[in-house]
Amino acid sequence: MVTAARQQPESAPDASRTFPKGFLWGTATASYQIEGAAGEDGRTPSIWDTYARTPGRVRNGDTGDIATDHYHRWREDVALMAELGVGAYRFSLAWPRIQPTGRGPAVQKGLDFYRRLVDDLLDKGIQPVATLYHWDLPQELEDAGGWPERATAERFAEYASLAAEALGDRVRTWTTLNEPWCSAFLGYGSGVHAPGRTDPVAALRAAHHLNLGHGMAVQALRDRLRADAQVSVTLNIHHVRPLTATEADLDAARRIDALANRVFTGPMLRGAYPEDLFKDTATLTDWSFVRDGDLETAHQPLDFLGVNYYSPTLVSQADGSGTHTSDGHGKSAFSPWPAADEVAFHQSPGQTTAMGWAIDPSGLYELLRRLSSEFPRLPLVITENGAAFDDYADPEGNVNDPGRIAYVRDHLAAVHDALRDGSDVRGYFLWSLLDNFEWAHGYSKRFGAVYVDYPTGRRIPKASARWYSQVARTGVLPGA
């Protein structure tokens, strides 16, 4: 389903809104973006270590070798969360820190780091939400073929078992994958993410084995967790809009919706790939890598769906140039959209963030309503939403970021409007707790509610952190 026109929420923009009791307020990070300690306590390189250390891949030659040094400063970071008053912290486990080669037994020092982190979170009344995979595949598994190979899905399930056995007594909420679209199509299609490969068939193969790995990991988690544990997956559902209501532009939106969204929601939530995806990509592959039983494995019951949203996607039929560089995911000579060269991407209207992404909370409202319509019995959680701006500390050491406050306020208003109109949204996680390593952008983009002075590691809560703290503590979103 795609939409040609925006649906405007009806609530007055200056009215305060109260969220339901029990609505979960959190913040989020990812292991490679914050931990550092890249070679400590048995951790071996991930695909992102290799990618970042390759000249020309990451802006300014930045790497996550130190990042925000969370591996050594985690107590300080948990204390910051306690000061903010958030009820939950979504973090990812570093696969190469727990299982360095992607095979065999776990490294206890790696697990001990997460045990200490989780214990401190629980001690301060903060619910830990663990993501198994936020893109840091052990390099040895990539050397063996990576996500385009079936064996990687099998290794992922084994890793899920190790993590659940070690942390299942402490962690009640688990996510298998974060944004598998990025892993498959940016990592193996356009090459702007690790491992930097540019093969459209490998991207489609990776998407399938991520679906399969997700299902296998859900089974492994269910086998080892308590009955009251919650298991989910996080998808960056693209809210795709056609430039016009012409048949050609509507078909372009349909094609991108299949590659961006239904390639994952189909197997994971329905147990089948969409037929139009097979037809659209028939010139590339016959999908014979999908084996009997794979779709049943991928289609596992979930307790909620994690939704990441930043900006809508605007497309049209291409004019013949085959442009794909304006899709907001990074410039490359290779497309992350297999068999979609006839689709053009356009900048959505309105103000933008430092990433160049349009600020459009109506897209979040429409997305939540779509998901609620298509999957009415599946609760939703906003697992990432936020914005990068050109933040700086003034001479007094303050960081004022009114743009971020406005962005978060308006998107929370969209969430509240979706709740009002029947969407079952259970929580919101602000991206991100800290300024951090922003993938191919290195340290040039700041998403954090907390400013990080990278030379010293000093943390400075921004004005948005104080504002978000008040919302999280009260459950009331003030008007503009």
438 is catalytic: no
For residues 350 and 358, the answer to whether their CB atoms sit within 8 Å is yes
**What separation in angstroms does the CA of 46 have from each of 38, 194, 309?**
9, 9, 26
Q: What DSSP designation does 336 have? A: S
Find the largest Cα–Cα distance for the chain: 63
- Quick one: residue 159, left, alpha or beta (phi over 0 = left, psi -120 to 50 = alpha)? alpha
Q: What DSSP designation does 449 have? A: S
For residues 245 and 316, the answer to whether their CB atoms sit within 8 Å is no
For residues 88 and 24, the answer to whether their CB atoms sit within 8 Å is yes
Q: What DSSP designation does 60 have? A: G
**Under DSSP, is residue 377 helix (H, G, I), strand (E, B) or coil?**
coil
Size of the chain, expressed as the number of residues it contains: 480
Q: What DSSP designation does 190 have? A: I
Q: 373 burial class (0-12, 13-18, 19+ CB within 10 angstroms)?
A: exposed
Active-site residue, selected from the candidate residues 35, 142, 149, 384: 384
Sequence-ordered alpha helix ranges (H) in 382-462: 402-420
Q: At CB < 8 A and 24+ separation, what contacts does 442-445 make?
A: 442/58, 442/59, 442/60, 442/61, 442/62, 443/60, 443/62, 444/59, 444/60, 444/62, 445/354, 445/355, 445/388
Active-site residue, selected from the candidate residues 35, 179, 366, 438: 179
Query: Which of 187, 315, 192 has its CA nearest to residue 257?
Result: 315
For residues 434 and 450, the answer to whether their CB atoms sit within 8 Å is yes
Distance of CA 80 to the CA centre of its chain: 22
384 is catalytic: yes
Which are the catalytic amino acids?
Answer: 179, 384
